[in-house]
Structure 1
Amino acid sequence: MQDLQQLPAEILLGIVNEKLRLHCQDKQALLYELDLSPQLLEQKLNQFGYEYDMVSNQYRKVRDV
Structure 2
Amino acid sequence: MTAGESLVFAGNGFQCPLTQLAKHYGAESGAVTDIYLPKWFAHNMPAIHVPLLIVMAYLHIRNCRRR
TM-score by length of 2: 0.28
Q: Which has the higher contact order (CA 8 A, sep 6+)?
A: 1
Of Structure 1 and Structure 2, the greater strand share is in 1
Of Structure 1 and Structure 2, the greater helix share is in 2
TM-score by length of 1: 0.28
